[in-house]
Amino acid sequence: MEKHVTVKSEREEYRLFRSRAIVAAIVVFTALALVFVRLVYLQIKHHQHYTMLSKENYQKKIPIPPARGLIYDRHGVLLADNHIEYVLEAKQDEVEDMKGSLNRIMQLLPVTPQDIIKFKQKLRVNSRFQSVVLKKNLTEKEIAIFSANRSRFSGFKVSVRVQRNYPLGSVASHLLGYVGRIDKKNLQALDEQGLTQEYSGTTHIGKTGIEKYYESRLHGKAGYEVIEVDAHGKPQLKLAEKTPIAGEDLFLSIDLELQIKAEELLSEHNGAVVAIDPRNGDILAMASMPAFDPNLFVNGISYANYNALRDNPDRPLYNRALQGSYPPGSTIKPMAALSGLSAGVVTANSSIYGKGFFQIPGNRHKFRCWKKEGHGHISLNRAIYQSCDVYFYDLAFRMGIKRYAKAMNRFGFGEKTGIDLPHERSALMPTAEWKRKRYDKFWYPGDTVNTGIGQGFFTATPLQLAYATAILANHGRKIKPHVLRATRISRNLPEKLVTPEKLPSIGVTKLRYWDDVIRGMVNVVHGAHGTARKAGKDAKYRFAGKTGTAQVFGIAQNKTYDATKLKKKLHDHSLFVAFAPVKNPRIALAVIAENAGGGSKVAAPLARQLLDTYLLTEAQKEEENNKENPDSKKLSPSLININKLNNQKTPKKKTGN
């Protein structure tokens, strides 16, 4: 059988080789082209981006939080500072045997299992190179014990940390507020404001009061340091540093001596005091009782302490001065009288006959006066100093709720004052429109009558009452109340005073109207028949005031109020407003003592003591200053013994803890 042999020609082999070579060349060229394009992408187009990523592999940026600004009263007495504490902390990457170290530390120091759990939780969320605190507030003895055994605990060390401190405890706690640990809600707010970077390394933030309102001033600006790390991430060299800028120091308008006195006098009552300098809107005192210790919140309040505050029926966390809405009672009668005069509804000499009750024409219901037998023929002056309800029932009825409410709005009722504190409430100046929207009911003439003596739906905050009294003292001139008096960006620089914000006057220009009303208020405390004549007895200055009694619940037509048969919580509130001196007033205030009875019993005497504290101390210091500096024409403010106040024990008073 014949075999066939296939012989490839040289030409065919060459064609095959050439085609394969071309394919290989194309593949190699394509690969080189891709590499070249990638190099262009990395080295030219995105050079800066990838250089940054490369640097981050061997550079670390560590934030340095700023020191929080301090808070002082108007005379430089420290109210909030930064307290040094000693802590035991560790860096995870430096600890050789974490489990064994923790067990040995528990045998050496009073570290609880709960402390260990929290420590491990922090380790999981923090960088291996960040220090994490195991135990705070080390005592000198504990520091000595650890130092003697330092060699047994690699990666652990005692460090100094700064935490917020309120040296006077519960004094002015509602006004100052407190700082607390930054939580998820705070982080979200910071992110929305674009401030996340500024708070890198910061653990605390203002939660309430001045600490919250002026957080942006108090916090300062964060710094950082850039360090070089090795392949294992351990620091090798500091490359750069930006020094943090400390927060501003704040000087408040508060007079600490007056503040302490207000809290001391309120210690037996739930209530509030607000004092304002009518000349510039400075808040001189703002007390709300009972109070609380803000230091409890700085590093996280315990469940036991928080539950005690939350469940306390006296509500120590509630700022009565800003948020308490009370029937203002007769304290608004001077404002109502001025409104009636300016509206032409009454004159200083016109009178009505007070027979102990008021009746709306065509209605048998009797709106009773506090004086059962009535005041007889009574004009504006006596209606104020004897607090005749019938006169003001009649005035409000004749004005009508629309005019009456509008006039009272000008004194700040039913509106927020705009004070530089968070969570202020507007309380309520009721109108027919409001009642229709709120209750879907008509406004009745009887509603107007009750509103005329500060009862019914009408409510006000202690701040609003003090503000309205300051407007009276100023003859209608309005200055927004404020707590911040001055700031300081450096201890080496002087304070920068805050300019008070002037507001439009209420528009009553006839001086005699103001004189008529203020004369009645002066007779409240200095007149022979004034409702607070005991409070004005032997005063070394003349002041103007008005008592008020706010009913907590309604009394039936045929019933008589008898406090002895009622629970304490159902007793009337005691109110008093005043300003002094009558000429050139320097202080206006409002006092409310809950369930303490008539205004002349508790609130008025309390207010007199506060006026004495402020005015007589001020006069005494001015006299001393003039003796020491006879050439000085400028009167010094109500200076106080700063060292004494910084070192004294705070007064015993009701607190929520």
403-429 tens-digit pLDDT: 999 999 999 999 999 999 999 999 999
Do 166 and 233 belong to one domain? yes
Q: Tell me: do 197 and 293 sit in the same domain.
A: no
Task: Give the residue from 220, 252, 284 where a domain finishes.
Answer: 252
Poorest-pLDDT segment among 56-70, 290-304, 443-457, 544-558: 544-558
Are 240 and 319 contained in the same domain? no
Label residue 632 by pLDDT band (50, 70, 90).
very low
Q: How many helices (H) and strands (E) does the chain have?
A: 23, 23
Retrieve residue 439's tokens.
């209750």
CATH for 234: 3.90.1310.10
Give the helix/strand (H/E) hosting 84: strand 78-91
Which of these three, 208, 234, 252, is where a domain ends?
Answer: 252
Evaluate whether residue 415 is within a structural domain: yes
pLDDT value of residue 609: 97
Q: Which of 55-59, 136-140, 594-598 has the lowest mean pLDDT?
A: 55-59
Number of domains in the chain: 2
The tens digit of pLDDT for each residue in 110-136 reads 998 888 988 888 888 777 767 888 888
Report if residue 118 sits inside a domain: yes
324 and 453 part of one domain: yes
Give the pLDDT mean for 520-532. 96
Structure tokens at 111: 């570290």
Q: Residue 651: its pLDDT value, please?
A: 46
Q: How far apart are CA 35 and CA 29, in angstroms?
A: 10
Place of tokens 């969570």: 423
d(CA 85, CA 136): 7
Summarised one tens digit per residue, pLDDT across range 285-328 is: 999 999 999 999 998 888 899 999 999 999 999 999 999 999 99
pLDDT over threshold 50, residue 230: yes
Q: Could you tell me if residue 509 is inside a domain?
A: yes
Q: Check if the beta carbon of residue 570 is closer than 8 Å to that of residue 553.
A: yes
pLDDT in tens, 181-208: 898 999 999 999 999 888 988 889 999 9
Average pLDDT over residues 35-61: 65
Question: What integer pLDDT is reported at residue 122 of this predicted model?
Answer: 83
pTM over 0.85: no
Q: How sure is the predictor about 585, in pLDDT bands with cuts at 50, 70 and 90?
A: very high
Residue range 214-225: mean pLDDT, rounded = 93
Distances (CA, A) of 8 to 3, 4, 15, 17, 18: 16, 13, 12, 13, 16
Residue 34 lies in a domain: no
Give the residue, 99 or 13, on which the prediction is more confident. 99
Instruction: Give me the pLDDT at residue 639, please.
Output: 36
In this predicted structure, what is the pLDDT of residue 55?
54
| Residue 58: predicted pLDDT | 67
User: Within a domain: residue 11?
Assistant: no
- Let me know: does 597 contact 523? Beta carbons within 8 Å: no
Q: Write out 324-372 in H/E/C secondary structure.
A: CCECCHHHHHHHHHHHHHHHCCCCCCCEEEECCEECCCCCCCCEECCCC
Q: Tell me, what's the pLDDT at 42?
A: 62
Choose the weakest-confidence range: 152-161, 421-430, 434-443.
152-161
**Taking 60 as the threshold, does the pLDDT of residue 535 lie above it?**
yes
Taking the C-alpha atoms of residue 275 and residue 156, their distance in angstroms, rounded to an integer, is: 52
pLDDT at residue 657 above 60?
no
- Torsions phi, psi for 566 (to 5 deg): -115, 155
- Rounded Cα gap, residues 58 and 107, in angstroms: 39
pLDDT score of 309: 93
Picking from 393, 376, 402, 392, the residue whose alpha carbon sits closest to that of residue 338 is: 392
Same domain? For 492 and 345 the reply is yes
Average of per-residue pLDDT across 219-242: 80
- Give the range of the structural domain holding residue 162, as residue numbers without chain letter: 61-149+156-252
* 49 found inside a domain: no
Query: What's the 3-state SS for 599-611?
Result: CCCCHHHHHHHHH
| Same domain, residue pair 427 and 485 | yes
Per-residue pLDDT at 6:
53
3-state secondary structure of 484: strand
344 and 361 share a domain? Answer: yes
Q: What is the rounded CA–CA span in Å between residue 152 and residue 179?
A: 36
* Residue 446 reports pLDDT greater than 70: yes
Whether residue 570 sits in one domain with residue 585: yes
Average pLDDT score over the chain:
87
- Inter-residue contact 280 to 477 (CB < 8 Å): no
Domain membership flag for residue 22: no
Per-residue pLDDT at 577: 98
pLDDT at 518 over 90: yes
330 in catalytic set: yes
Res 562: pLDDT: 54
Active site residue: 131, 170, 330, 387, which one? Answer: 330
Alpha helices in 41-112 (DSSP H): 47-56, 98-108
Whether 221 and 337 map to the same domain: the answer is: no
For 388-543, where are the E strands, in sequence order? 478-479, 484-488, 496-497, 502-503
pLDDT, one tens digit per residue, over 237-282 is: 778 888 899 999 999 999 999 999 999 999 999 999 999 999 999 9
Residues 202 and 129 in one domain: yes
Q: 494: number of CA atoms within 13 Å, CB side?
A: 3
Confidence band, pLDDT 50/70/90 cuts, at residue 52: low
Domain end: 252, 272, 292, which one?
252
| Amino acid making up residue 632 | S
Q: Is the pLDDT of residue 165 over 60?
A: yes
Task: Answer yes or no: is 1 within a domain.
Answer: no
With a cut of 70, say whether residue 553 has pLDDT above it. no
Q: What CATH number corresponds to the domain at position 282?
A: 3.40.710.10
* Residue 248 sits in the same domain as residue 262: no
Whole-number pLDDT of residue 97: 87
Same domain, 615 and 588: yes
